[in-house]
Amino acid sequence: MTDTLDPKITAAPANAGSDQNVTRQQQPRPAVVLPSVVPPALKRRVPKVSDLAPLMQFKKPEFSKTARLKRASTIWELRDIAKRRTPQAPFDYTDGAAEEEITLRRARQAFQDLEFRPGILRDVSKIDLRTDILGKESRLPFGIAPTGFTRMMQSEGEYAGSQAAEAAGIPYTLSTMGTASIEDVATAAPNGRNWFQLYLWTDRDRSLELIERAAKAGNDTLMVTVDTAVAGARLRDVRNGMTIPPALTIKTVLDASYRPAWWFNFLTHEPLTFASLSRYTGTVADLINSMFDPTLTYEDLDWLRETWKGKLVVKGIQTVEDARRVVDHGADGIILSNHGGRQLDRAPIPFHLLPEVTTALKADNSKAAVMLDTGIMSGADIVAALALGADFALIGRAYLYGLMAGGREGVDRTIQILEKDMTRTMALLGVSKVADLNPDHVRLLQR
């Protein structure tokens, strides 16, 4: 093994015996030490009181509900507030899903397993989030999905949701299992765009009655849900004894006792019922199994198309084939949805299904609107869905987290957070209008 010598170093002769034989080149040169210059800003000095004063202006603490909501910058933070303020049973009804909750976890993971592909040097000084959905303009490209049992989460319930949607210029959807009536929601938000979600009952006369009431109250869109032939196994609700009306068990009382605001609102407002239905006692699953029709077919969809004169949307589409078929049977729009993971566990994920469905309907020259829900927890999630071909999105849990966190103000905050997220995400993508989003802006990552 040979050593490699520095070419600048000259080896001494073998007979060298003193420093006198060392050439000048071999002698180390002394290092040049320059005087250090200390910048004026770094010279030590005694601080002046006038310099300290601006730094000692402590922010005055705020303890109001509004202040906590304003500090929330994500839907997850609203969820944390909601969990502290809401008893376990209603919180779990919102937060949970069916069986092992695999579908819900996958739906949320789907929005994380993507990569945005931004464009640069675009003018994004103004971001326009407006979009057309089912023949009318929405100020934002999302609306509020139908949710049942809503006043159980927080006593303002559907009234807070519909009024917040009205103020934001977006659609609000009332559920058949809502805790405010069709007429009351129309009165609460008279200038809002109200939609009605329908479960087709075995008793068609009662279904027809609801359809007529929705039309008379000014609802322009009917959303029929088709993924509830039977109830999903929502195990959190089973463990919590979720019933209609709520059962005040010892566990319920103890759990609510350290949430005085929820307790006070629950006791001092109108008793909780499904406002569009007759009074019913039993579990949510029992109600679904006794009321909803497991024999529902495409012939019933034809009957509904003939009966309802407004826009008809089918919610619960989970395959390309069914998307095509409901459009062939007269649907003006479809919602890719697995019911928030609350029905069939391990169901298809709407976000994964989206590119296939939009490609298929485009090949059919279909004009049907494609919407989706499930898993949405940020404005960036909505932007990604729009880029992959969705015309619109619907939020359910995200809206309910805001409701539980602070009633109407909490729902307003949810909408503000999502709007701010979308505005920032689109600007960073180099896109100024919703219509300019396209699949080139998103790449789906493989696990």
Nearest CA among 370, 287, 363, 356 for reference residue 326: 370
Confidence at residue 317, expressed as pLDDT on a 0 to 100 scale: 97
Residue 248 has pLDDT above 70, yes or no: no
Confidence at residue 446, expressed as pLDDT on a 0 to 100 scale: 85
Confidence at residue 313, expressed as pLDDT on a 0 to 100 scale: 98
> pTM of the predicted model, to two decimals?
0.84
Task: pLDDT band for 2, please (50, 70, 90 cuts).
Answer: very low
Confidence at residue 3, expressed as pLDDT on a 0 to 100 scale: 44
Task: pLDDT band for 1, please (50, 70, 90 cuts).
Answer: very low
Nearest CA among 156, 110, 48 for reference residue 378: 110
Does some domain include residue 49?
no
Residue 201 has pLDDT above 70, yes or no: yes
Residue 74 has pLDDT above 50, yes or no: yes
Residues of the chain with pLDDT > 70, as a percent, come to 82
Confidence at residue 268, expressed as pLDDT on a 0 to 100 scale: 78
Specify the range with the lowest mean pLDDT, choosing from 82-86, 294-298, 342-346, 361-365.
294-298
Residue 132, CA distances (Å) to 144, 146, 172, 259 in order: 16, 20, 15, 42
Confidence at residue 299, expressed as pLDDT on a 0 to 100 scale: 92
How far is residue 325's CA from residue 315's CA, in Å, rounded to a whole number?
A: 13
Task: pLDDT band for 241, please (50, 70, 90 cuts).
Answer: confident
Catalytic residues: 339
Does some domain include residue 360?
yes
Does some domain include residue 22?
no
Does some domain include residue 207?
yes
Q: How many domains does the chain have?
A: 1
Confidence at residue 260, expressed as pLDDT on a 0 to 100 scale: 78
Long-range contacts of 121-126 (CB under 8 A, 24+ apart): 121/430, 122/430, 122/431, 122/432, 123/432, 124/426, 124/427, 124/430, 124/431, 124/432, 126/432
The SS3 assignment for 339 reads helix
Residues of the chain with pLDDT > 90, as a percent, come to 64
Confidence at residue 150, expressed as pLDDT on a 0 to 100 scale: 93
Nearest CA among 63, 81, 61 for reference residue 410: 81
Confidence at residue 349, expressed as pLDDT on a 0 to 100 scale: 97
Does some domain include residue 16?
no
Confidence at residue 7, expressed as pLDDT on a 0 to 100 scale: 40
Highest mean pLDDT: which of 57-66, 250-259, 381-390? Answer: 381-390
Specify the range with the lowest mean pLDDT, choosing from 74-83, 119-128, 203-212, 355-364.
203-212
Does some domain include residue 37?
no
Task: pLDDT band for 271, please (50, 70, 90 cuts).
Answer: confident
Full residue range of the structural domain in which residue 426 is found: 68-444
- H or E stretch at 290: helix 284-291
Residue 309, CA distances (Å) to 137, 196, 421 in order: 20, 13, 36
Confidence at residue 287, expressed as pLDDT on a 0 to 100 scale: 63
Task: pLDDT band for 75, please (50, 70, 90 cuts).
Answer: very high
Average model confidence (pLDDT) across the chain: 86
Does some domain include residue 81?
yes
399-414, pLDDT tens digit by residue?
Answer: 999 999 999 999 999 9
25-61, pLDDT tens digit by residue?
Answer: 566 676 666 677 888 878 887 877 777 677 666 666 6
In SS3 terms, 75-135 reads as HHHHHHHHHHHCCHHHHHHHHCCCCCCHHHHHHHHHHHCEEECCCCCCCCCCCECCEEECC
Burial class from Cβ neighbours inside 10 Å (0-12, 13-18, 19+) for residue 206 reads middle
**Both structure tokens of 126:** 């103004």
Task: pLDDT band for 416, please (50, 70, 90 cuts).
Answer: very high
106 touches 347 (CB < 8 A): no
Residue 283 has pLDDT above 80, yes or no: no
Does some domain include residue 28?
no
Residue 102 has pLDDT above 80, yes or no: yes
Q: How far out from the chain centre does Cα 362 lie? A: 26
Task: pLDDT band for 243, please (50, 70, 90 cuts).
Answer: low
Nearest CA among 132, 162, 108 for reference residue 371: 132
Confidence at residue 5, expressed as pLDDT on a 0 to 100 scale: 40
Specify the range with the lowest mean pLDDT, choosing from 202-206, 235-239, 273-277.
273-277
Confidence at residue 357, expressed as pLDDT on a 0 to 100 scale: 97
The CATH number given to whatever domain includes residue 167 is 3.20.20.70
